[in-house]
Structure 1
Amino acid sequence: MEKEPYKKIKKSAFLDEKKGEVDGGLEMEASTHKTWIPFDLLFHIFLLLPAESLCRVSFACKTLFNMISSANFIEAHLRQSETVLLTLKSVTEENTSLPFARQPHAQSRKFFFQFWELHSGKSRKVCVPYLKNIDRILASCNGLVLTKMKKNAGLAVINPSTRKHIQLPLGTIGFHPDLYGFMRRQLMGGYKVVHLFRDKFNHIRCEILNLSTRSWHAVDGPSSTFGSIIFHAPVSAIGAIYWLPERSGCNHIVSLGYDDEKFLSIPLPISSTKNDRLIEVGGGLLSFVTHATMHLIQVWILRRDGVGGDNWIKRYSINRNYDITGLIPFCTSGCEMVFNRHRRNLLYVYNLESDEMKEVNLDTETMDRDVEQDDMEFEEEVDNGEEFLFYIPHVNSLISGSTPHRQ
C-alpha cells in the first residue's frame, strides 16, 4: 500500500507530463540505456542531500522541482536535518562600484553566516544575499534566521540555504531591554515574530508580527513578573513560545500560544538554578534541563494533552563524578544534547542513549583577523554583566519565510 505523503506529492508533481518524466518515477537516459527510477526511491535519495544541493537540483526538471518544493518533502527533510551552530560575521572590503578617485576611502561591509558542525567543530561560510547593513542575529527557527538591520532600518528573515529573504518592519523602538523570538504553529505550519519590551512604567509589553501579513499588532503582556527579559532566549515548541522569566529560582515558565496569543504560567517540576535552560528536543517538544545537584543534570519533557493540563515527565538523568554545574544546556541534535560554557569555544556533546560525553573544539583559527576584531568590539559593547550567547542553534532547511502557509 502506498504511503500517504507520496500520494500527496504525486498529485502536484506529475500533473504535467513532459518527455523524460513519467507518473510514479523519473526516466533518465544514460548512454544507450534508459533507467527508470521509482518515485519512492527518488524521495528518499533526495532527503539525504543538504538543502543547498537540493536548491540546485530542483531546477533540473519539473518533476524534481515539484517534489523538492512540495510541503511534504520540505517537512520530511526538516525532520532529518542535523543541528549546527550559527553566527554572523563580516569583513571590510573595498567598494569598487564607486568612482576611482573615491575608492581608496570607500569601504563596505560584507556579511556572511558561519556554520560550525557539532561533531568536528569545522566551519564553513555562506554569503548573505543582497543585505549589506545587518546588525545582528535575533533568533533562528527551522532554518529561518531573524536579523535586525542597522540604524533601525527594519528586520529581515533569511534562509541561508536557499538564499531567500523577506524584509519586515521593525517593532516598537526606544525601549530597552527588548527581546525578539520566533513562534511557530504546531500543525499546518505558519510563523510569527514575537517582540517583548519594557515600557516607561517598567511593564512588559508584547507585540506580534505574522509573516504572512507582515504587520505588527499588540497583545496583552504577561501577568507574571519577569526579572529580566534578556537573560534567556525564548524557545518555540508545541505550538507556543516559552521563557524562563528569572535568571534563577524560577518555579514556573511563561508561554505564549500561537493561535490564541495569550500568556500562561506553567509550574516547573523543580525550581531552576542559574545554568538551567529550556530547549527544544525530539522534533518539537519542550524540555527543561536542570542541575539537580553538583553531579546530576535532569531532563524533563513537557506533555500538553489539552485535556489533563500540563505534565512534566523526567526523561533522562545525566550523572557524572565531577562538578557539572558549569555546563549550560544549549541545543539538541537527534539523540545528543549539546552543552557549552560562558565565552568558550569548547562544546560538550552528550549522547542520551550511550551515556557518553565528548569535547568538541570549535575551529576558530580560520577566522579572518578583521572578523576577530569585530567580534571583540561587539563583545565589549554587550558585556554588561548579562549573558551573551555568541552562537545560536540552527538547522539547514528549505523552508521559506515568504510562503509560511505552505509549510
Structure 2
Amino acid sequence: MAEKSSKAMSLLKLAEERASLKKKLEEGKQKQQVDSVPYLPKDCISNILIRLPLESLQRSRFVCKPWYSIIYSPTFVHDNLRRAEKVLIFLSPINRVSRRSDRDSVFRENPNTFSVEAKIFDLKSVHVLHRPLIDPSSKYAIRYMMLADGKTTIGEFNATCLGKIRASCDGLIVIDNNLKKGELLIMNPITHELNLLPLGTIYPSHEESFALVNCTQGYKLVHLFRDESQFIGCEVLRIGERSWRVVDGPSFGLLKWFGYEPVFAIGALHWVPEIDHSEYIVSMTIDDDKFHKIMLPKVSRFNDRIMEVSDRLCFVAHEEMNEISIWMLESLSGEWGKIYTIGVGCIRDLIPLYFPKFRWEIYFMDKDGSVFVYDFEKEQMGKVVVKKGSFPFLGGAYMIHVNSLVSLSIKENSRDTIEY
C-alpha cells in the first residue's frame, strides 16, 4: 500500500514538473515572438496613420490605446486637416424616391444612423418634459460629394438632421436646431460630436447670413441679418462663450441680398451684396470685426463668383465671347490683378464651384446639373462623370467643406430649462 502511494506521489510530481516546463516553454515562445516584432517609433506610426482615409482612422483608433492617443492628438488632427481636400456638403432626402433611377442616390436611414435631434434630447434629457414625434419624411441625411479624377463620389456621414446647414469651417458645421426657434448647434459630422449654441438675435422674418471662421481668438461665428428697420445688423459669437456680442454693421449702405455664401480669405469674410450688377464686395476683417468696401475689377453678374484659393481671394467673371477671367486679390490694401483667362470650352451659364486645394483646377456647374472641370496645366475643359440623380443641390443648396477630426470643447448652455 505504501509502495502504491509512493508511486502516485512520484507520478504527481512528474506531472507538475512537466506542466511547469511546458508553461516556461510557452512563456519563452511568447517572449521570443514579442521580441521578434520590430519596434516602430511613435512618429513612424503617426506617419503611417495620417495617410489612411478618415473611415479607416475611425476604426483604427480602437486598435490600442497608443493609436487612440496618436489619432486624437492636436498635432495629428491638425496634420490631417491640412491634408483634407475640399468636398461639397449637402442635405439629401430620406426614403423619398419618386423614380427608379433615383433609388441609389437617396439615403436610407438605419438603426445605427446618428440623429442630430436624438442627440439634442440626450444632452438635455433631464429637462425635457416630453419628446415630440418626428416625421421621418421631414429628416435629411448629411452627405458630401467628392470631385476628383473626372468623376463624382457620394460619401455618407451616417447622420440625419431636420435643420439647414448654415456654415462650415475646418470640418465643423453649424446647423439650425428645428426643435427650438432661433437656436443653432455646431457639430463634426465625421465624429458626431455635437453641442448647442446660445440664442442670438431673432426676427420674425428676415434675411440673414452665417459664417464660421478660425482666427487667432479661436472659432468665431458671424451673423449678419436685416433688422426691422431694414438695416443690416451684425453679431458675433466666439465658440465656447455663453452669449453673442453685437458689433457695428456696414455703414456704407445696405446689403441687398444674402444669397451667396460668404467667402473667407486674406483674414476677412467677403460678401457680394447684390445677386446681379454688383460693383463692390463687403468685407469684414475677423480680428477687429470692422467692415470695409472693396471695389471689384469689373461689375459682377449673375453667374460670377468670389472664391478662395490658397488663402487668397479670387473673382471668377464671365467675359464676352464665352471667356472666363480669373482675378486675384492678395491683400485687402492691394489691387485686383488678372491672372488667367479661360478661352476654351466655356458656356455662358457655367457657375464656378471651387478650386481644389492640391490641384491647379477649377470646377463649374451648369444650370442643368452638369459638372465641368478646367485643367490649367493642360488648358482643357472637361465634363465630369456625374451619376444620374446624384447632384441633388441645384439652386445653391451646397457648401464647401472639408472632412476632418477637429474637435471642440464647448461649454454647456447655462439655461436650466429647455422647452420644446
Q: Is the 8 A contact 2:315 2:328 kept in 1?
A: yes
What residue is the counterpart of 2:404 in the other structure?
Answer: 397
* In 2: Cα distance, 1:196 partner to 1:54 partner: 37
Gaps of 5+ in 1: 1-28, 98-104, 380-387
* Equivalent position amino acid for 1:281 in 2: V
SS at match of 2:164: strand
Equivalent residue runs for 1:54-133 within 5 Å: 54-91=57-94, 107-108=135-136, 110-119=139-148, 120-128=151-159
Whether 2:303 is the aligned partner of 1:272: answer no
Q: 1:106 to 1:115 in 2, by over 3 A?
A: closer
* In 2: Cα distance, 1:210 partner to 1:277 partner: 28
CA RMSD of aligned residues (A): 3.1
Deviations 1:275-310 (A, max 9, x none): 11111112x3222111233422122222128xxx23
Equivalent residue runs for 1:5-404 within 5 Å: 33-91=36-94, 107-108=135-136, 110-119=139-148, 120-128=151-159, 134-150=162-178, 151-152=180-181, 154-173=183-202, 174-185=204-215, 188=216, 190-282=218-310, 284-304=311-331, 309-320=333-344, 323-333=346-356, 334=358, 335-342=360-367, 344-365=368-389, 388-402=395-409
Q: 1:164 to 1:114 in 2, by over 3 A?
A: same
Q: 1:106 to 1:171 in 2, by over 3 A?
A: closer
* TM-score, normalising length: structure 2: 0.72
Gaps of 5+ in 2: 1-31, 96-108, 112-117, 119-132, 412-420
More off after superposition, 261-270 vs 188-197:
188-197
Deviations 1:77-129 (A, max 9, x none): 2222122222113426799x9xxxxxxx985355421222213223132222x
Larger radius of gyration: 2
Give the count of matched residue pairs.
340
Work out the percentage of aligned pairs sharing the same amino acid: 35
- 1:197 Cα shift? 1.2
Deviations 1:200-258 (A, max 9, x none): 21111111111121421111011233452322110122322111112233232111121
Q: Is the 8 A contact 1:329 1:339 kept in 2?
A: yes
Q: Is the 8 A contact 1:294 1:325 kept in 2?
A: no
Q: Is the 8 A contact 2:184 2:199 kept in 1?
A: yes
- 1:164 Cα shift? 1.1
Q: 1:232 to 1:43 in 2, by over 3 A?
A: same
Q: Is the 8 A contact 2:257 2:275 kept in 1?
A: no
* In 2: Cα distance, 1:189 partner to 1:206 partner: 18
* TM-score, normalising length: structure 1: 0.74
Q: 1:256 to 1:30 in 2, by over 3 A?
A: farther
More off after superposition, 84-93 vs 247-256:
84-93
Q: Is the 8 A contact 1:176 1:198 kept in 2?
A: yes
Q: 1:316 to 1:401 in 2, by over 3 A?
A: farther
